[in-house]
Amino acid sequence: MDVDLRKLRYFVEVAEQLHFGRAAQTLHIAQPALSRQIRALEDDLGVALFIRDRRSTTLTPAGQQLLHDAKPLLASAQATVRRALQAALPTQQFTIAFMPGITVTPAVKALSAQHPQLDIRLLRTGWDNQTKVVLDGRADVSIVRMPVDPRGLNVKPLFSEPRVVVVADDNPLARKDSLTLADLADAHLLQDPEAVPEWRAVAHELRNGRRAQVPAIGSVEEKLELVASGAGFCVLPRSTASFYTRPDVAVLPAPDLADNQISLVWNSSHETGLVQDFSDVCYLLRPPGAN
């Protein structure tokens, strides 16, 4: 059976939003047309993918499984097209993705010295796309902050660094030399609690159901703005916090927090000589004092 990748893309959008109207707007197609495409996909597969009523849209077990498998399949198809287009370029390109706070210049210089004709590109990522960029071919390698989903990836641990707590400068906690988890038990975390499991285990607001809704935050700058306004605190890797020095927030060590692990990842189906060469020089990424 040949599966239409366009129908799969439509399915993934609806499955992630669980709303045909919003998915149609995102895809820039009419909702009736989207519904017809989903029904056609269900006919192709011979299974129902969604349960729809007037109030909600939910995935069937078959839909849940297809969503799990479709996203890496679509990413692989995108990567295949991108690599074909890059192969036609007169100069070979190599794109290095990296998370905020990680300095890649020494490793880039070392790779450039080995391959003077190589066109090296850099791509800044965030928590939501740090692995997607290698799975869909936008980057050849990505320097990520763990944890990540390892499916389809080769993962090479590089180093670890402490995480720190950022609070408003006028917060009483800012007067401390360092913070413990007990100090933070009554504070509001401006992140997904899953990202800071140590705090999640002691947080009072999670026990009594008073946790306020955290708005979608797309960057470190947005987090710091919220922190400075007194909305709560955030936890950042130490190197990331050092890039955003500002007088209205205080950065404090928190020995109870586990270190953040930095790793190099690349697409397991696209391991080239250049990827290995960059992997070899990644020891230059280690900042002073890293573990």
| 283, amino acid identity | Y
DSSP secondary-structure letter at 288?
Answer: T
9 and 152 assigned to the same domain: no
Interval 264-269 mean pLDDT: 93
264: Cβ contacts below 8 Å, ≥ 6 apart: 141, 142, 143, 144, 155, 156, 158, 278, 279, 282
Number of domains comprising the chain: 3
Interval 109-136 mean pLDDT: 93
> In the structure encoding, which two tokens stand for residue 149, read together?
């989903």
Q: Domain for residue 82, yes or no?
A: no
Q: What is the CATH number of the domain that holds 17?
A: 1.10.10.10
Q: Domain for residue 103, yes or no?
A: yes
Helix (H/G/I), strand (E/B), else coil: 109: helix
Interval 109-131 mean pLDDT: 93
51 and 11 assigned to the same domain: yes
Domain's final residue, options 48, 77, 106: 77
Q: How far is CA 198 from CA 39, 184, 257, 259, in A?
A: 45, 10, 7, 11
Q: Can you give the pLDDT at residue 101?
A: 85
Interval 150-175 mean pLDDT: 94
126 and 192 assigned to the same domain: no
Q: Can you give the pLDDT at residue 1?
A: 64
Average pLDDT in the chain = 89
Q: Domain for residue 234, yes or no?
A: yes
Q: Can you give the pLDDT at residue 288?
A: 67
- Tell the residue number behind the tokens 């189906």, with chain if given: 269
150 and 169 assigned to the same domain: no
Domain's final residue, options 77, 101, 122: 77
Domain's final residue, options 54, 77, 100: 77
265 and 156 assigned to the same domain: yes
Q: Domain for residue 83, yes or no?
A: no
Q: Domain for residue 155, yes or no?
A: yes
> Could you tell me the residue range of the domain that residue 56 belongs to?
5-77
Least confident of 50-64, 167-181, 251-265: 50-64
147 and 69 assigned to the same domain: no
246 and 167 assigned to the same domain: yes
178 and 244 assigned to the same domain: yes
65 and 96 assigned to the same domain: no
Q: Domain for residue 269, yes or no?
A: yes
3 pLDDT exceeds 90?
Answer: no
Q: Domain for residue 143, yes or no?
A: yes
Q: What is the CATH number of the domain that holds 126?
A: 3.40.190.10
Q: Domain for residue 232, yes or no?
A: yes
Question: What is the band of 212 on the pLDDT scale with cuts at 50, 70, 90?
Answer: low
156 and 168 assigned to the same domain: no
Condensed to tens digits (0 to 9), the pLDDT of residues 25-52 reads: 999 999 899 999 999 889 888 899 999 8
| Residue bearing the bigger pLDDT, 124 or 207 | 124
62 and 101 assigned to the same domain: no
179 and 42 assigned to the same domain: no
Q: For residue 235, what are the β-bridge partners?
A: 165
